[in-house]
Amino acid sequence: MQAEDAEAALIGPQLDAVMADEAVVRRQAAMAPVADVCELKMKAEYFERLMNNGWCDVDWDDLQELLRSFVDLPI
């Protein structure tokens, strides 16, 4: 049990840093504009996979930015 605690103490801060970096990248992806319907579908499918497979918790703010990027689609 002590070995697991020591390992968690070593890995914990690194894991937190990686997860924070991942959240930043996810927010940037959500905010990125889409140029056409194909990009819109790709982006929607990416976030759908993230949410449905339980790979990460998508923040409400990320979802808002994602939807906002769809609104700006030139038609």
Domain count for the chain = 1
Residues 44 and 57: their CA atoms lie apart, in Å, by: 15
Is the pTM higher than 0.75? The answer reads: no
From the CB of residue 48, how many other CB atoms can be counted at a distance below 10 Å?
11
From the CB of residue 62, how many other CB atoms can be counted at a distance below 10 Å?
20
Give the model's pLDDT for residue 42.
Answer: 93
Provide the domain limits for residue 41. 2-71
Residue 46 and residue 29 in contact, taking contact as beta carbons nearer than 8 Å: yes
Tens-binned pLDDT, residue by residue, of the chain (75 aa): 565 777 777 788 888 898 889 889 999 999 999 989 999 999 999 999 988 887 777 889 988 998 998 887 776
Residue 56 and residue 18 in contact, taking contact as beta carbons nearer than 8 Å: no
Q: What is the DSSP string of 1-12?
A: -HHHHHHHHHHH
Give the model's pLDDT for residue 3.
Answer: 56
